[in-house]
Structure 1
Amino acid sequence: MTGRTPPRTRATETVAEVDGLTLGPVAGGPPVLRDACLSLSAGQVLGVVGRSGSGKSSLAHGLLGHVRPGLEVRAGTVRVTGLDPFDRADARRLRGRVVSFLGQDPASSLNPALRIGGQIAEAVRLRSAAKDRDGVRARVGELLLSVRLPADREFRGRLPGQLSGGQAQRVALALALAGRPKLLVLDEPTSGLDPALADGMRALLAEVLCQGDRAALLVSHDPAWLGSVADDVIRLDAGRIAGRGTPVASPSVPRSRAAPGGGAHGGGVRVAAAEPDVARVNAAARVAVAGGLSVRRLHAVHGRVPVLHDISLTVPAGSCTAVVGASGSGKTTLARCLAGLHPKASGTVEWSGAGGSGDRGALVHLVAQDARGALNPRESVGVALTRPLRGVGGLPARAASDEAVRLLGRVGLDTDVLGRRPGELSGGQRQRVALARTLAAAPRVLVCDEITSALDPETAGRVLDLLDSLRRTLGLTVVMVTHDLAAAAGRADQVVVLDEGRVVEAGRADRVLVDPEHPATRNLLARADGPVLTAPD
């Protein structure tokens, strides 16, 4: 989106007020949110920005009366249409009817065993005035059409697993809108989508936010989007509101280490030959090491539907290979196949070189996009790390504890997180814990599936720097599934492009992303947000 949304007619009704809200760990320690104050009027969109761990999600969830496990309200009040969301009785009156939430993975709110039409109908019955059968059916159709989905019987009869990623996101939005809420809380609802799907979802949300007098709190690390839809923006830093102001429409948003420069290619994306940096030179030297991950004639299906077709590729030992492609191209399925986690696959995936050879076995490990979902919410970080150290590594309890501390240091975390659970960590901290747990199993290959998609640019850069460091110090081989072409250009030695389950282009990153041969690659470059490869001054 390139321009500001036309100004809305602002009503004077106050929808939400936060006064001095302070949240902190139950066991003591510094607050994660300090003396937060804000007011939201009908028709107002308030943007919230800040690095990972700054308190953005804690503030957003506070409007719902939610406090993540391990935290407590230390001071302050929250009122939504005069009701207290932390009061159980008030919360029942608010949730879904007055205030609705759309988070970083909206599709996870769908029940995989219930058909789409039934789920939306149930939300309508619970949250709106429509109760009779015809009224509910009409409202379901209206909601589906409002989020640009078919309202016919066939679509209503689908299960969530039969939807594309973009369709699932839109159904989740329809559920959030079922009760005609006065306040919509959006916490990075497009962070896990590829650029094309994210653009479509942002455009749809912009339309939703402009309708009527609904207020919205929008947490995002995309200043261009905030500049298009928000009336005001607050910036959080270390739990405090550190600044307020009017958003700037469509600024330049750096998404990796790529430097600014001139020229254009395909939809305004800047592409030119980049001078290799020290890390790239070191990586190129490591590629010369014998061995690596070899994939031959790999096929995979979901149910009876083929999703990967005759995939063959080689990932040299010590290198970084980026796998890119549009949503639905098969990237995540390929990642799961490489790690041996997709049962319906044929072909071979073998590792040869230092640390073992033959079938990949325990040598290839997946680091998933959703670190929160990958970690047991009831286990402390210490337990999550020591279990593989004792089970896979065979270490006694004391040695495993010492090694857990060393692993935390390797991923840049202090020992004070050992006693915390995943819900008590920021997104960046959870991702680092997930990496540390993977390292505990002593893999030779890390398969990273969109591990930075839910992180702000600064934290994402730190996680990618960490991966580079692990490659240098441990000699790891990295397969990086990503929709961020700038990250692929800045970090990878080679790029593999998937389209409809097939490898359509592969080669050196600075060749594929400068002089693409396949239309699918050119289309990805045309849709990229900002620079991919740039020339030095």
Structure 2
Amino acid sequence: MDATPGRAATAPLVEVDGLAVTFPGAGSGDGGVRAVDGLSFTLAPGRALGIVGESGSGKSTVAAALLDLHRGTGARVAGTVRVGGLDVLAAPEPQLRRLRGGTAAMVFQDPLSSLDPYYAVGDQIAEVYRVHRPDASRREARARAVAALDRVGIADAARRARSRPHEFSGGMRQRALIAMALVCEPRLVIADEPTTALDVTVQAQILDLLHELREGTGMGLILVTHDLGVVAGSVDEVLVMRAGRAVEQGPVGEVLSAPAAGYTQQLLAAVPRVDAVREPRPAAAVRAAPDEPPLLEASGLRREFVRRGARTRAVEDVSLTVRPGETLGLVGESGSGKTTVGRMLVRLLGPTAGTVRYRGRDLGALGERALRPLRGELQMVFQDPVSSLNPRRSIGESVADPLRAAGELDDAGVVRRAKELLERVGLDPAWYHRYPHEFSGGQRQRVGIARALAPSPRLLVCDEPVSALDVTTQAQVLDLLGELRRELGLSMIFIAHDLAVVRAVSDRVAVMRAGRIVEEGPVDTVYERPEHPYTKGLLAAVPVLDPRVAGDMRRVRSAA
């Protein structure tokens, strides 16, 4: 990729030529798994490159190779990688230490695993500064840490620098990681999925911040993501990866508006659009009769939590209905109370006040014995299948457990039915005895759906079921839910922070903020003619695939 006009004589900031990364283990003819195969690209100073592709395409492997983070892992790395003129793969350790955090810095996907829970955030940033500026005093390092936090938009930075990671929200933790990356003023920042699982407004803030920092400092940026909407307004060039190879690369506007590779076209076609309804809308094919009584009705729900003697109200006066065969989307930012509402609706959590009626019966008035037959009709698909599946039990046994609890089948019948459910969600029944770690994220989510279907539910509450999946896997899971809804007559409550996904699957939508529903109505009406300022703000923060429109939206947000 060429430098911009006027920079033709400037040496590339990043040069990658013939990069190949092979991990040990069975999988390929040479005795390893080839994660990256013959990749080449360049990045000029001050420019931004987006590396996109599905999970397993090799994106993060490339990002790690830029700082030679594969050294000592057993991975075989070949080719040439130069960052700031340094031959990274051949550099001795002292030079690598100066490169990492000094010349180039990385922002990782999960800030909780990158930040030490035992130390204050400011101390951790100051430590990075002192490693690269050994002559700096503790006072100077702390001042630099506070300045870095202030620079990335942390309010009252001097006080918050003394906070530990668990005292920060998800968006604040990601800002803290960016501050840590910037404290030594690197020439290059590598951001590996920095906005995955963040709600749309926080995601927009992080992307705007990276853009402003690049504009203000002239740093180069490599943004690794599976979300094409994220790269549209954030980078100059885009490189599309599949199975370790580059299938297409070029200016972001050209690649997104007129993709040459079939794979890029497939990725773009799989992206849910907030400005257009997918036709046919997969999960909205079943319509409830308007005069049919609600399947589920919640009235005046309130939920309070008490921590360290302090009372926090998570949900306040929430009322909603779901009719047979209907999908209700529940959207809002992190902390708005969506998941708490979902758990109360299926009685995984009792409300502090209010009622939940299912088929006319007050669930709160039922004892455990009377409630047990209804639990099978109210099922939940959780956000993280890794934490909701027992790693010591095969996926088949996890799906079979609800069947055994019902006691309606003998053991052979239970296994047969569990295999039928695995096949129904698109998994090979022969995988019955495999364990969760042997599956991809999308496959594990299918296992979670199969387990939820085992007791033959009438209402499925899906809590962020596709938030961490790449766009093609996300589309597959959404289509699967749509097929199940049509064939089984399921009602659904679809909880998500991704407004484009919610529009693609829902009949009606309820928008939550600070524990309350601030707007509710038919999904197309709410999206096309939002009334509440909060809803308008959420829609304005959704990434779009047109770089020019994305740039205009960023300028409007900056001026607000």
TM-score by length of 2: 0.74
**Aligned to 1:311, which of 305, 318, 332?**
318
Cα distance 1:339–1:238, how it changes in 2: closer, same or farther (>3 A)?
Answer: farther
More helix per residue: 1 or 2?
2
Percent sequence identity over matched residues? Answer: 35
| Residues 1:201 and 2:212 are matched in the alignment | no
Q: Which residue of 2 aligns with 1:500?
A: 514
| Residue identity matched to 2:498 | D
For the residue of structure 2 that corresponds to 1:481, the secondary structure is strand
Q: Distance in 2 between matches of 1:427 and 1:526?
A: 29
Query: Which amino acid in structure 1 is aligned with residue 295 of structure 2?
Result: G
User: 221-230 vs 292-301, which deviates more?
Assistant: 221-230
Hey, what's the Cα distance between the residues in 2 that align with 1:196 and 1:167?
A: 13
The aligned runs of 1:214-233 (5 Å cut-off) are 214-223=219-228, 225-233=230-238
Deviations 1:54-73 (A, max 9, x none): 33334334445567xxx974
The 3 A distance-change label for structure 1 pair 358 and 113 is farther
Deviation at residue 466 of structure 1 after TM alignment: 1.1
Quote how far apart the aligned CAs of 1:35 are: 1.3
| Inter-CA distance 388–366: structure 2 relative to 1 (3 Å threshold) | same
Deviation at 1:202, TM superposition (A): 0.6
- Structure number with greater Rg is 2
* 1:393–1:441 Cα contact (<8 Å) kept: no
Gap change, CA 1:161 and 1:295, over 3 Å in 2: farther
Contact 1:97 1:128 (C-alpha < 8 Å) held by counterparts: no
Shift of 1:320: 1.1
2:58 matches 1:55: yes
1:284 partner SS? coil
Partner of residue 33, structure 1: 35
The Cα shift of 1:453 comes to 3.1
Corresponding residue number in structure 1 for 2:300:
297
Amino acid at match of 2:27: G
User: Against the structure 1 CA distance between its residues 399 and 94, is the aligned structure 2 distance closer, same or farther, given a 3 Å change threshold?
Assistant: farther
Distance 1:298 1:227, change over 3 A: closer
503-512 or 6-15, which moves further after superposition?
6-15
CA, structure 1 residues 433+230, in 2 after alignment: closer, same or farther (shift >3 Å)?
Answer: same
What is the deviation of 1:235? Answer: 1.4
Is the contact made by 1:352 and 1:358 (CA closer than 8 Å) also made in structure 2? no
| Aligned counterpart in structure 2 of residue 246 of structure 1, from 251, 254, 260 | 251
One-letter amino acid of the counterpart of residue 387, structure 1:
S
Query: Does the CA contact (< 8 Å) of 1:255 and 1:530 recur in 2?
Result: no
Gaps of 5+ in 2: 258-267, 362-368, 546-560
RMSD of equivalent CA atoms: 4.4
- Report deviation, 1:103: 3.8
Would the aligned equivalents of 2:232 and 2:544 in 1 still touch at CA under 8 Å?
no
- Residue 74 of structure 1 deviates from its aligned partner by 6.2
Query: Counterparts of 1:392 and 1:97 in 2: how far apart (Å)?
Result: 56
Structure 1 unmatched runs, 5+: 259-268, 532-537
String of CA shifts for 1:379-399, please: whole Å, max 9, x gaps. Answer: 5xx724423524763578766
Partner of 2:140: 135
Show the 5 A alignment for 1:169-180: 169-178=174-183, 180=185
Report the CA distance shift for 1:120/1:335 in structure 2 as closer, same or farther (over 3 A): farther
CA drift of 1:444 comes to: 4.2
State the SS of the aligned residue for 1:460: helix
Closer, same or farther: CA 83–221 of 1 in aligned 2, 3 Å: closer
> Structure 1's 63 and 345: CA in aligned 2 closer, same or farther, altered over 3 A?
farther
CA distance in 2, matches of 1:10, 1:375: 55
**Counterparts in 2 of 1:526 and 1:225: CA distance versus 1, 3 Å:** closer
Residue 147 of structure 1 deviates from its aligned partner by 0.7
The residue that corresponds to 1:393 in the other structure is 404
Q: What's the counterpart of residue 109 of structure 1?
A: 114
1:468 deviates by: 0.8
What is the CA deviation profile of residues 164-212 of structure 1, one whole-angstrom value per residue up to 9, with x for unaligned ones? 4432321222233345555433232223233322221111112334465
**CA deviation map 1:17-53 (0-9, x unaligned):** 3634244682326956351323445625332122444
Q: Tell me, in whole angstroms, the C-alpha distance in 1 between the residues paired with 2:255 and 2:150.
A: 29
Q: Corresponding residue for 1:534?
A: none
**1:414-493 paired onto structure 2 within 5 Å:** 414=428, 425-440=439-454, 443-493=457-507
Aligned ranges 1:279-298 → 2 under 5 Å:
282-285=285-288, 292-298=295-301
Could you tell me which residue of structure 2 aligns to residue 261 of structure 1? none
- The reply on whether 1:184 has 2:195 as its aligned counterpart is no
Q: Which stretch of structure 1 is more off in the superposition, 407-416 or 281-290? A: 281-290
Asked if residue 351 in structure 1 is aligned to residue 355 in structure 2, the reply is no
Asked whether the 8 Å contact 2:283–2:485 carries over to 1, the reply is no
* Equivalent-residue separation in structure 2 for 1:341 and 1:172 (angstroms): 34
1:156 paired to 2:161: yes
Range 412-421 or range 464-473, more displaced: 412-421
CA distance in 2, matches of 1:295, 1:74: 57
* Deviation larger for 457-466 or 431-440: 431-440
CA distance in 1, matches of 2:190, 2:434: 27
Quick one: structure 1 residues 500 and 229, their matched pair in 2 at CA, closer, same or farther if it must change by over 3 Å?
closer
The CA distance in 2 between the partners of 1:343 and 1:8, in whole Å, is 63
Could you tell me how far 1:290 is from its partner in structure 2? 5.8
Query: Residues 407-427 of structure 1: CA distance to partner in whole angstroms, max 9, x if unpaired?
Result: 333222346866776666544
Tell me how far apart the structure 2 counterparts of residues 300 and 9 of structure 1 sit (CA, whole Å).
61
Are the equivalent residues in 1 in contact too, given 2:51–2:223 (CA < 8 A)?
Answer: yes
Aligned to 1:45: 48
- 2:341 is the alignment partner of 1:334: yes
TM-superposed deviation, 1:248: 1.0
CA-to-aligned-CA distance 1:262-313 (integer Å, 9 cap, x gap):
xxxxxxx858xx8995857742147877663332332223532212102122
Number of residue pairs matched by the alignment: 509
User: Conserved in 1, the CA contact under 8 Å of 2:284 and 2:506?
Assistant: no
Kept in 2: contact 1:338–1:349 (CA 8 A): yes
Check conservation: 2:377, 2:457, Cα contact below 8 A.
yes
Higher relative contact order structure (alpha carbons within 8 Å, sequence separation ≥ 6): 1
Cα drift, residue 134 of structure 1: 0.5
Deviation of residue 144 (structure 1)? 0.6
Q: Which residue of the partner structure matches residue 556 of structure 2?
A: none
1:193-247 deviations in Å (ceiling 9; x for gaps): 3332222111111233446565443223444553544343221123322122222
Q: 1:15 to 1:276 in 2, by over 3 A?
A: closer
**TM-score, structure 1 normalization:** 0.77
Instruction: Quickly say closer, same or farther: Cα 1:137–1:322, change in 2 above 3 A.
Output: same
- Secondary structure at the counterpart of residue 393 of structure 1: helix
Q: How far apart in 1 are the matches of 2:432 and 2:223?
A: 32
The amino acid of 2:144's aligned partner reads R
Q: Distance in 1 between matches of 2:433 and 2:510?
A: 40
> SS at the partner of 1:513?
helix
Superposition deviation, residue 124 in structure 1 = 3.6
Inter-partner Cα distance in structure 1 for 2:18 and 2:219: 21
